[in-house]
Chain A
Amino acid sequence: MAKQKPVLNVAFIGHVDAGKSTTIGRLLYDSGAIDPQVLEKLKREAAEKGKAGFEFAYVMDGLKEERERGVTIDIAHKKFETPKYEITIVDCPGHRDFIKNMITGASQADAAILVVDVNDHKTGIQPQTREHMFLARTLGINQIAVAINKMDTVNYSQEAYEAMKKMLSEQLLKILGYNPDNIDFIPVASYHGDNVVKKSDKMPWYNGPTLVEALDKFNPPEKPTNLPLRIPIQDVYSITGVGTVPVGRVETGILKPGDKVIFEPAGVQGEVKSIEMHHEQISQAEPGDNIGFNVRGVSKKDIKRGDVCGHPDNPPTVAEEFTAQIVVLQHPTVITVGYTPVFHAHTAQVACTFTEILKKLNPATGEVIEENPDFIKAGDAAIIKVRPTKPMVIENVKEIPQLGRFAIRDMGMTIAAGMAIDVKAKNK
């Protein structure tokens, strides 16, 4: 089946309980993608579970555990059409325990909607609001819009909206290098449907776009079809009667049924039988497509989240060691050789050891301040050498930018961001 509209992957990010899932549920409902009867059923289920008010969130929160606790645990995708785009929505969990899943989701996105609770302006920016935005930036998401949610709880007050907008702009977005003037801040009350799809009549002071309109203002993503094929695997299913179905987003290159493929670092090969996107067969997958593809010759046990699929004549690079440029965002002490935090790149997460700190750089200008420093700390930029503790795929950012970026986490926080600028391959 031919695709008419360009595909755009949009991640919904933000602190726990900001209303990401609810906003998505509302978006789907008001645009007719969900049957009112289904919503009625969800509403009853939510009430039974003592989670009244979560019916819209239940649209995305499909797991029993998610529904019982009222938190999103793993990412979920839903297709949705706007006048301009075929949008794949990626609902990310906000709870800090599930941040690794959020990173997987954000790594698949072309753009992001940051959802915040308008009441945060009284208490300050929430920690995962901060961390998610930093990760989004790190993972190369340059287009964002902000949904300032739960406007109903402040009587749709313009003041509260402005205060929230100012706080986010000054204390977060500008610091990360975004220009707030180019970002839409949409006051919404997702639970009630204000300014999500339908323009609200309760906020006459706002004349910007609704959330759906804001989505259509995003630019279509580039399609690096001429780069080698790379599909970071998000999950692998084994479906009776079908076989092994890895799912993930095509980052670069083109995949067609009949292609021979290899998964690294697993090193297993197979042949693509068919490709599906949102339960429909397609004849070719391109960058940005979130697909499930049926592979012959590979079992579910062979591959897992974090592996990358490519063509055997140009397989994904398994790094024995790599050189990277990093910026340390926050760290309570110092970073030295021997330090072994977790690196998140595309859908992979692997502990990596710092083996050398080659240069300390001026974060603003990139000029070298010190050769071979003994340590670096928060605020520093540096060129380092890193050795993964187990095999992982990472690419030189100059060759395949989509797979060259990573975030570093330790002690329950994101401490640094970086990109690989040289990779010593194990498999080439």
Chain B
Amino acid sequence: MEEDKSKELYMFKKTLQELKSKKGKGTELISLYIPAGRRISDVTQYLREELSQSSNIKSKSTRKNVQSAIEVILQRLKLLKDPLEKGVIIFAGMVPRSGPGTEKMETYVLIPPEPIKTFIYRCDSQFYTEPLEEFLEEKDTYGVILIDRSEATIATVKGKNIQIHKRLTSGVPGKFKAGGQSARRLERLIDDAAHQFMVRVGEHATEVFLPLLEKKQLRGILVGGPGNTKNEFVEGDYLHHELKKIVLDTFDLCYTEEFGIRELLSKAEHLLKDLELMKEREVVQRFFKELIKEDGGLAAYGEKEVLEALIMGAVDTLIVSEDINMVRVKIKCNNCEYTEELNIKKDELPKLEEALKEKTCPQCEGALVIEETKDFIEYLSELCEMSGTKLCIVSRETEEGAQISKAFKGLAAILRFKLHQ
């Protein structure tokens, strides 16, 4: 289940990137969002009207392109069946490949991850993708407040992201005693300053968190820091009463800066385990724990070793970094049955095409051509499906993801059994 989601999300993101890069010549790219439960015949009806309206478009080429895009969508609709469970999203339009005159009709049909609520029909020079991005955005957010006597950090944790919203310093006097001040006066000064500071932190927390709460996106607030200040802050009247209700717990931490959040995440594991970020951490840490074993444990990394294990069905969990940027290329001979497959970096594709011009088929000396290229992660996910392997696609924004990406070239695995003794 989990791993399906990981792959689905990845493919969805990939398509989104693709869609965003498309530009039509005129306002002739059509985006259509059909809500869950809407009857297909209603939509067909709507499009027919649009089609007849479009005859008013002045530019001849735009008119032609819009009309053919609508036609394509009408064709596609015929393939769909009522009722639409989550609704459907269709993009269609003539997109230039390189210069003018190279336009080709492109169509995308997407099943959204969540039901669509509103009907949208748009005709523009770009595909309208904002609602798609909203689907991708993690809705569940946790608020984090780190506080001690001298400083505070207000942050949110959402999906795979940690975002720092505010850093505050208190100006509360330290232990150094200024000459001439009585101990009692100094104490009062410190108490006052500490109180003022907590009031400020509370105000900033309200500013950041309350709107999220109103949007029903805030799952809870975690408060941490060294010493007792955090408790004073939570128990006192500093937080907005609505926010106070959702304080999940307080944590003893050494730090109040960004790395305090890391400390907090590891201490609050049990509360946050459904966060994408935590799942990613858990898997990567599990890989590391295998790696540290004297004989390398059940860890594998490096393209060759991992693929070998994967094909043998020996991989329990495959960890791949979303920025791996590779493609699986299928090469075939124009003349005989010969084929060959290899994995290369996406940006090496033109070089490979060049190289192929020089090379010939090892069997019949015919010309070699690229028959197919496939996204490497997509290829891996197919292999995973076949062997029941869990797939974990890690992002480069998290520390663990960065470690997989940089130290292990984006590919690592936890094995079911050891391949070599």
Question: Which A residues contact B (CB, under 8 angstroms)?
Answer: 62-65, 69, 73-76, 95-100, 235, 237, 239, 247, 279, 292, 300, 304, 332-334, 336-342, 349, 351, 353, 374-375, 377, 389, 409-412
Contact = CB atoms under 8 A, between A and B. Distances in A.
Interface string B269-286: 000000000000000010
Contacts of B266: 411
A292 B252 CA distance: 32
B193 to A, nearest CB: 12
B31 interface: no
B169 to A, nearest CB: 8
Interface in B362-414: 399, 402-408
Contact of A62 (B177, B226, B229): B177
B406 A337 contact: yes
Interface of B: 149, 169, 171, 173-179, 183, 187, 190-191, 226-229, 252-255, 257-259, 262-263, 266, 285, 288-289, 291-292, 301, 399, 402-408
Contacts of B253: 97
B291 A334 contact: yes
Contacts of B255: 100, 342, 349
Contacts of A99: 254
A411 B281 CA distance: 14
Contact of A65 (B149, B177, B288): B149
Contact of A97 (B174, B175, B178, B254): B254
Contacts of A63: 175, 190
Contacts of A64: 187, 190-191
A333 B190 contact: no
Given A336-B408, A338-B407, 20 more contacts: A74-B174, A95-B227, A96-B252, A96-B254, A97-B252, A97-B253, A100-B226, A235-B174, A237-B178, A239-B178, A300-B171, A337-B406, A337-B407, A338-B399, A338-B402, A339-B399, A340-B399, A349-B255, A351-B257, A410-B262
A377 B406 CA distance: 17
Contacts of A62: 175, 177, 183
B288 A334 contact: yes
A336 B176 CA distance: 41
Contact of A100 (B175, B254, B291, B408): B254
Contacts of A65: 149, 227-229
Contacts of B177: 62
Nearest to B258: A351
A377 B407 CA distance: 14
B215 to A, nearest CB: 31
Given A96-B254, A97-B227, A292-B176, A338 B301 contact: no
Contacts of A239: 178
A332 B399 CA distance: 16
A326 B179 CA distance: 43
Contacts of A338: 399, 402-407
B292 A377 contact: yes
What 7 A-B pairs are tightest by C-beta distance, nearest first? A336-B407, A333-B288, A97-B226, A338-B403, A338-B402, A337-B407, A338-B406
